[in-house]
Amino acid sequence: MDIAILFLVHFLLIAGTYSANDCQSSACDYYGLPIRFPFQLSPQQPQSCGYPGFNVHCNNQRKPVVNLPYSGDFLIKSISYRKQLVKLHDPYKCLPKRLLELNLSGSPFKAAYYQNYTLLSCPLDFDTSRFTTIACLSNSTSRILATSSVSLANSLTTCKIIRSSLIPVSRPPQDNDGLSSDLSDDLLLKWSIPNCDQCEENGGICNFRNTTSGQPTCSHQSKTGAIHVFRIIALCVTVPAIATSIIIATFICFTRGPDFNRQEAELALQSVNESQGLDESTIESYTKVIIGESRRLPAGPNDITCPICLSDYHANETLKCIPECQHCFHSECIDEWLRRKGTCPVCRNSPSPARVIT
Ligand SMILES: *[C@@H]1O[C@H](CO)[C@@H](O)[C@H](O)[C@H]1NC(C)=O
Ligand SMILES: *[C@@H]1O[C@H](CO)[C@@H](O)[C@H](O)[C@H]1NC(C)=O
Ligand SMILES: *[C@@H]1O[C@H](CO)[C@@H](O)[C@H](O)[C@H]1NC(C)=O
């Protein structure tokens, strides 16, 4: 009877661990942007790992690409799983053109911010020194510029207004002189379904495991580690059980009982520590690097955006990279994060080797 139960537990645990591994974070190349739920990278991850509409593939330069049903392909620059934001850019390097045609119907995304812009077509002899012209929309006979200032647009009498419309922008609309609007920032989109911000906030990862309702559930990585240990313990207990008689096996179960409980308790304690973040001395031990004019990162993928605050890096800012996984962040962003959570915000790996449960 006991053995039958142990067997059942054993196989359930093995099945649980394997299905967990199927949907692990993936990337287009070794140092690439980690792709995980709700996104799904084809063909590295099965379709069932992602939420409908979040399909990503790699282009021939090994960059992640998302396809928006009515607007085509965009390169993914960064993803904030916690804030549910994705930063995109145009593979053909003319984002203003893409923004003017953007139609997000049929995709799970909405623009994070919109601003009303007026697009103007100005003659070649028009003095554009005060403005940022949109080079990729201009041609040999006219210069195209965009402005968020209605009065400015109306005062430029030699230019022709092409259209006024709400254009997705990457930061909250600002009142400015409207002179420096070139629309070539990134495209910042947000999603609200599936809603995993609470789960991510608490250091978990959403997935479709153990679900029949079609709604994602939240799981914690430390649990996967615990399951692994649990599985090994289960193996150690069941294998001798097959070899020996029922009586001896039952005896082993009884003698191992308290041991088993203690290990479980230790594991539980460990995962509590993990969700509470790292201690100040570990955080301090990571080397700080001042980023140079080239804005090249000291390690890992050469991203130009901090995955925590989604702001681009600027020269002379202080960065910190987690040694184990080489993911870099603004120093103050990652310090604050690690004080609260003991895992890398990008790949969810535990940065301190002492904490890794094997
Ligand atoms: C987006 O494109 C679809 C298909 O062409 C169209 O039916 C829909 O009206 C468009 N939406 C907007 C906001 O233009
Ligand atoms: C954008 O500005 C133009 C010009 O002032 C105006 O006609 C239009 O109604 C505005 N559109 C929106 C959606 O606010
Ligand atoms: C240049 O662009 C303007 C405005 O978009 C357009 O009307 C014109 O036909 C274009 N000229 C050429 C030579 O492509």
At 234-284, the pLDDT tens digits run 444 444 444 443 443 344 444 444 444 444 434 433 444 445 778 888 888
Residue 139: half-sphere exposure toward Cβ, Cα within 13 Å: 2
Residue 342 in any domain: the answer is yes
Which atom of ligand 3 approaches the CA of 140 most closely? Answer: 13
pLDDT given at position 56: 95
Nearest ligand for residue 165 CA:
2
pLDDT given at position 60: 92
Output the ligand 2 site: residues, CB below 6 A. Answer: 116, 150, 164, 166
Residue 288 in any domain: the answer is yes
199-210 mean pLDDT: 77
Residue 298 in any domain: the answer is yes
- The pLDDT mean for the chain works out to 76
Ligand 3: residue whose CA is nearest its atom 11: 141
pLDDT given at position 49: 86
183-199 mean pLDDT: 88
Q: Which of 226, 196, 197, 233 is nearest to 211 (CA)?
A: 196
156-181 mean pLDDT: 82
Tokens representing 301?
């993928």
Q: Say how many Å lie between the CA of residue 169 and the centre of ligand 1.
A: 20
CA distances in angstroms from 240 to 34, 247, 250, 268, listed in the order given: 41, 12, 11, 27
Residue 321 in any domain: the answer is yes
Strand-strand pairing, 318-321 and 288-290: antiparallel
Q: Say how many Å lie between the CA of residue 187 and the centre of ligand 1.
A: 19
Torsion sign across C-alpha atoms 118, 123, 128, 133: positive
254 vs 248: CA distance, rounded Å = 10
Which atom of ligand 1 approaches the CA of 103 most closely? Answer: 1
Residue 121 in any domain: the answer is no
Q: Say how many Å lie between the CA of residue 143 and the centre of ligand 3.
A: 9
Tokens representing 211?
């679900």
214: pLDDT confidence band, cut at 50, 70 and 90?
low
63-71 mean pLDDT: 95
Number of domains in the chain: 1
pLDDT given at position 7: 46
Strand-strand pairing, 318-321 and 328-330: antiparallel
Of 43-47, 73-77, 305-309, 345-349, the range with the highest mean pLDDT is 73-77
Which atom of ligand 3 approaches the CA of 121 most closely? Answer: 4
Q: Which domain holds residue 321?
A: 277-358
Q: Is the CB of 121 under 6 A from ligand 3?
A: yes
Residue 311 in any domain: the answer is yes
85-103 mean pLDDT: 93
Q: Is the CB of 19 under 6 A from ligand 3?
A: no
Q: Say how many Å lie between the CA of residue 115 and the centre of ligand 2.
A: 10
Nearest ligand for residue 151 CA:
2
Q: Say how many Å lie between the CA of residue 160 and the centre of ligand 2.
A: 16
Residue 284 in any domain: the answer is yes
Cβ pair 307, 345 in contact under 8 A:
yes
In percent, how much of the chain has pLDDT > 90? 27
pLDDT given at position 275: 56
Residues 6+ apart with CB under 8 A from 265: none
331-348 mean pLDDT: 84
pLDDT, one tens digit per residue, over 114-123 is 988 999 999 9
Which atom of ligand 3 approaches the CA of 137 most closely? Answer: 5
Q: Is the CB of 103 under 6 A from ligand 1?
A: yes
340-356 mean pLDDT: 69
pLDDT, one tens digit per residue, over 164-173 is 999 998 888 8
**pTM for the whole structure:** 0.62
pLDDT given at position 17: 37
Residues 6+ apart with CB under 8 A from 120: 144, 145, 146, 147, 153, 156, 159, 160, 161, 162
CATH number at residue 350: 3.30.40.10
Nearest ligand for residue 139 CA:
3
130 three-state secondary structure: coil
176: pLDDT confidence band, cut at 50, 70 and 90?
low
Residue in 70, 102, 109, 167 to alter for ligand 1 test, most ligand atoms within 8 A of Cβ: 70
